Amino acid sequence: MNLILCIHNHQPVGNMDFILEDAYKGAYLPFFEVLKDFRDIKVNLHFSGFLFSWLCEKKPEFITLLKSLKNQGQIEIVSGGMYEPVLSLISEDDGCNQIKMHIDLMEEVFGDKPKGLWLTERVYEPHIPHTLNKAGITHTLVDDNHFKAVGLKEDDLFGYYVTEHEGHKLAIFPGLEFLRYSIPFKPIEVLDNYLKEADKKGHDLAVFGDDGEKFGLWPGTKKSVYEEGWLKGFFEYLTENQDWLKTVTFSEYLADKPPKGPIYLDCQSYKEMGEWCLPPTLSKQYAAAISSEKSDEGTLLKGGYFKHFLVKYPESNDMHKKMLAVTRQANNNPEAKKHVYMAQCNDSYWHGVFGGLYLPHLRASVYGHLIEAEKRLDSEKAFVEGKIEDVNLDSVDEAVLVNNFIKAYFCLKEGGSLYELDYKPATTNVMANLCRRYEGYHDKITMASVNDVADGTKTIHDMFVAKEEGLERFLHYDWYRRASLVDHVMGKDVTWESFYRCQYYEPGDFVKEPYLATLKKEKKTASLSMKREGHVWMGGKRVPLTIEKTIRMNVDEAALYVDYLIDGDVKESFLFGVEFNFSFLGSGGDRYMDMGTGKLPLTSKGIYGPSQKILLFDPYQKVAPVIEFDRPISIWTFPVEVVSLSETGFERNYQSTMCMPVWEVDLTAGPRKIHIKLVVNGISSHNNVQ
């Protein structure tokens, strides 16, 4: 019997250097230090391009070790998209080019071109064979879940199949879920029984493919895999049982054995991904169904569709549609195109058991590379422009103002809010925000404990570990997106606590409702006027209320000038708040905000006295946004924090700081005007605001 072992090592673009260093010391280096002592064991190996480039630069001795292992026939190199994109999220040309970039890098280092591909997150769609063939790929690996979804049984999955799209053939190997959940978590005796049973049935091939990080980086595995010797014991077991069980490479098996037959797979990924991309309530139901003891029922159930993440998380869709727009513009600019490729790294566009979209530094990386690409495409002359068009491809127009310093996006269908503000000198979107939303796993938080210890016998899918006690206290859910220039018309009885929890009554209908927009362009100025003729509920009646806000952007200035005009038949005074949200990579260190009375942490909570200015200072991203406004009665603020799941457990993550100047508005004397200026300053190398 043959056994294919395929190890996938990946770190997302934008991950911090110390994280890569920890992964190298905890998983990548020790794995191959063990492997080199077992000359008869063969492994198929994939490194994503960002990680591999880092290793080439920082760890040349490790690359030398890999080359040595390859030269003696112990490893076969597997390719992939250079920066680990999900191929179905990008254009075919971009996908082919990314694969070719990775193939060229592998050939440069190891001497030959890989023919196999690690399919990112095993997200398969029927057109994939065409894309891979164009890039020179002949075979790939997906999960057994893909095959079971079209009717195959467990005993059908010990081998490989061949498929095609428009005549472009591709060999597809099914990775076995049992092996994925057993290696390196179960005793070797369990694996031995499984493989012997398969051999007894006459099966010829078993395939394992999964993350290399589970060998030392996943919770508890450093101790179990290396200190307690699981990996060494596994390799000893394989060496001692070569008379009936032999490790082989993909290419060796393809050269020696025919396919089991033709196959046509539908849109699919691994089973857990099918859970995560569903709406939260359905994801819970699906998780319960597939874990049913009635295995046949679980096999017949199909989970969600990967691209639904773009619906589930509008913030992901914002990044994705910006990426699609920029990649088309960058086709004739190689340097800009490279930054687009780096922004296509998959991790930031979805969320499951890994932090992904919930990690601010990964979203910041996507925006940073896209902004850098746009900078390389900008005119060298000073300019200011505006447009109203369907940016997010949802058949509803957005508005954009842009000059050589900043670029601002406005969501016309949801309150005319400002949902992206790119500061080009620092290649930073200071509003890469994420709202607080219900996730299906939140119901499990009360089951989690800070005292649980990972011992390496459970996968990250089976653990319930909390990084701090009382996380349920932070489970608040927003009913609108966390953006800026969000117009709140509130009763005078609203409290800060209820607003913070997003559990208050708002009598106005301006936060999520559409604004009508007009654009005016002059030589050195672009102005966007957004107006809503809405209502406010008072005394049991809908009273007409109109809010118009005009945003002006000048050439050569990193500022937005906002003029509000509020008018209506409202006979009682009310509170009017203009909400701002600023995202940073964290809330600590030398970051702060200042309302004129001294430095405050970005996590400050409460209602502060009247001020005409708020400064937010982030020396790490080199940005210092400042809001200036007519004197309000107070300023409300709090940190937007989410409770999310990562491979290390449930954790609280800072996403942004909410600041809202609040005015008491009385329209009995006539319309009310409010003036606001938002400017983004840079920060010098000496941490001075520029």
Q: Beta 398-403 vs 384-389: how paired, if at all?
A: antiparallel
pLDDT at residue 547 in the model: 98
Phi-psi bin for 505: left (phi > 0), alpha (psi -120 to 50), beta? beta
Collapsing DSSP to helix, strand or coil, 390 comes out as coil
345: its two tokens: 């790294």
Q: How many CB atoms lie within 10 A of CB 668?
A: 9
Residue 638 DSSP one-character state = E
pLDDT at residue 252 in the model: 98
**Tens-place pLDDT, residues 280-328:** 999 888 888 887 655 555 566 789 999 999 999 999 999 999 999 999 9
- Cα–Cα distance for residue pair 320/324, rounded to 1 Å: 6
pLDDT at residue 534 in the model: 97
Query: Integer distance in angstroms from the first to the last C-alpha of the chain?
Result: 67
Q: What are the backbone angles phi and psi of residue 618, rounded to the nearest 5°? A: -130, 95
Number of H helices and E strands in the chain, helices first, is 20, 28
Q: pLDDT category, 462, cuts 50, 70, 90? A: low
- Cα–Cα distance for residue pair 514/510, rounded to 1 Å: 8
List the catalytic residue out of 121, 144, 272, 318: 121
**Tens-place pLDDT, residues 6-22:** 999 999 999 999 999 99
In the block, tokens 């089991």 appear at 260
Does the pLDDT value for residue 332 go beyond 90? yes
Does the pLDDT value for residue 460 go beyond 70? no
pLDDT (mean) for 675-684: 96
Q: pLDDT category, 686, cuts 50, 70, 90? A: confident
Q: Which domains are delineated in the chain?
A: 2-267 (3.20.110.20), 378-388+399-436+466-682 (2.70.98.10)
493-515 burial code (b ≥16 CB/10 A, e <16): ebebeebbeeebebbbbbbeebb
**Tens-place pLDDT, residues 552-561:** 999 999 999 9
Which residues does 515 contact at the CB level (< 8 Å), separation at least 6?
412, 415, 416, 530, 531, 532
Does the pLDDT value for residue 643 go beyond 80? yes
List the catalytic residue out of 107, 164, 204, 211: 211
pLDDT (mean) for 253-257: 97
Q: Please choose, from the candidates 637, 487, 477, 670, the residue with its C-alpha nearest in 3D space to the C-alpha of residue 575.
A: 487
Q: How many CB atoms lie within 10 A of CB 677?
A: 14
pLDDT at residue 637 in the model: 98
Does the pLDDT value for residue 635 go beyond 80? yes
**Tens-place pLDDT, residues 186-242:** 999 999 999 999 999 999 999 999 999 999 999 999 999 999 999 999 999 999 999
Q: Do 614 and 627 meet the contact criterion of CB atoms below 8 Å apart?
A: yes
Which residues does 281 contact at the CB level (< 8 Å), separation at least 6?
440
Which residues does 527 contact at the CB level (< 8 Å), separation at least 6?
386, 519, 520, 521, 550, 551, 552, 553
Residue 430 DSSP one-character state = T
Collapsing DSSP to helix, strand or coil, 307 comes out as helix
351-367 burial code (b ≥16 CB/10 A, e <16): bbbbbbbbbbbbbbbbb
597: its two tokens: 């009375």
Q: How many CB atoms lie within 10 A of CB 476?
A: 17
**Tens-place pLDDT, residues 56-66:** 999 999 999 99
Q: How many CB atoms lie within 10 A of CB 105?
A: 17
CA angle at 268 for the pair 265 and 271, rounded to the nearest 5°: 125
In the block, tokens 């996380």 appear at 471
**Is residue 211 annotated as a catalytic residue, yes or no?**
yes
| Cα-based torsion angle of the residue sequence 123, 126, 127, 133 in order, rounded to the nearest 10 degrees | 80
**Tens-place pLDDT, residues 478-495:** 999 999 999 999 999 999
